[in-house]
Amino acid sequence: MLGGTNRRGEPKQVVPSKLESNATRGEWVMSDLEARLSALEHRVGELEDINAIRRLHWAYGYYIDFNRAEDVVQLFAKDGAVVFLSGEYLGHEGVRRLYGTWFQNYFTQGVNGPVDGFLLDHFQMQDVITVAADRRTAKGRFRGLLMGGSHESREYKPVGLPLQFYEAGIYENDYIREDGVWKIKRLDYMMQWQADYEKGWARTIAHLQPATQTHPENPLGPDVLLPAGQVRKTWPHRQDVPMHFAHPRLGAAFAGRT
């Protein structure tokens, strides 16, 4: 620091006082603490978001177990969508058509479950959830395993549905924070295999096939079909399900972190 001139006309060097040095150091420490606190608050917020999204998807699984169609609808954003059997159901109206008009009527004759003698249990697991930096959107990957069918004593048995079957699929979903609450923006379910209990997957052809007609031509159909190149054939056909997240090791390497 400069403080006037000496007798030779040279600028004087003024050594900062301890008080000034301590004040500067204190400002730096406070700034660093504020930055660290902000980063910590953001990280805690991300963890809360991940837990809320996991809870949202698990709730979805419980509701579809018992064909509680309207409860399922309310988990979706107003402009949410479901991709199922190569068709896309749009908005609450489309979601309701899938889970209510189709599933609820077909499985339980329009009754909110549970229904005696009917099984449709969905196990949701292996979640990988990624929250965007602004914490307004997120992506999630889940694995679903389904056990379903009807007891032999049940009077009503859905036509075409095996009495005992397994199904497995992968979800790659989009989520959005709507009015402060996490909702499903796009639920994309990609069936991986189906198996009659007696035959096993070795001798089963999936009883569900890709959609070919849209609503209203098909009253239960999707609003739009996926492009021809994206149609997903069902078991025994298999297809890759791209992951929304980077490889934990390679992703860090590509970002310059090892």
CATH of the domain at 243: 3.10.450.50
Per-residue pLDDT, 11: 60
Per-residue pLDDT, 9: 59
0.75 cut: is pTM over it? Answer: yes
Per-residue pLDDT, 15: 55
Query: 185 CB contacts (<8 Å, ≥6 apart)?
Result: 76, 77, 79, 80, 81, 137, 173, 174, 175, 176
6-10, 161-165, 194-198: least confidently modelled range? 6-10
Per-residue pLDDT, 4: 56
114: preceding bond cis by omega (within 30 degrees): yes
User: For the sheet containing 137-150, what is the strand order?
Assistant: 118-131, 137-150, 164-178, 181-196, 76-84, 87-90, 224-225
Q: Is 80 exceeded by the pLDDT of residue 27?
A: no
In a domain, 1, yes or no: no
In a domain, 83, yes or no: yes
Q: Is 70 exceeded by the pLDDT of residue 162?
A: yes
Per-residue pLDDT, 34: 87
In a domain, 2, yes or no: no
Q: Which residue has the higher pLDDT, 165 or 37?
A: 165
Of 231, 193, 183, which Cα lies nearest the Cα of 81? 183
Per-residue pLDDT, 256: 53
Tell me the average pLDDT of the chain. Answer: 90
In a domain, 29, yes or no: yes
| Per-residue pLDDT tens over the stretch 50-101 | 999 999 999 999 999 999 999 999 999 999 999 999 999 999 999 999 999 9
Count of domains for the chain? 1
In a domain, 138, yes or no: yes
Per-residue pLDDT, 258: 45
- φ and ψ at 96, to 5 degrees? -65, -35
Per-residue pLDDT, 21: 63
15-19, 35-39, 113-117, 225-229: least confidently modelled range? 15-19
Task: Work out the percent of the chain whose per-residue pLDDT is above 70.
Answer: 86
Residue type, 193: W
In a domain, 70, yes or no: yes
> What domain range includes position 221?
17-254
In a domain, 162, yes or no: yes
In a domain, 9, yes or no: no
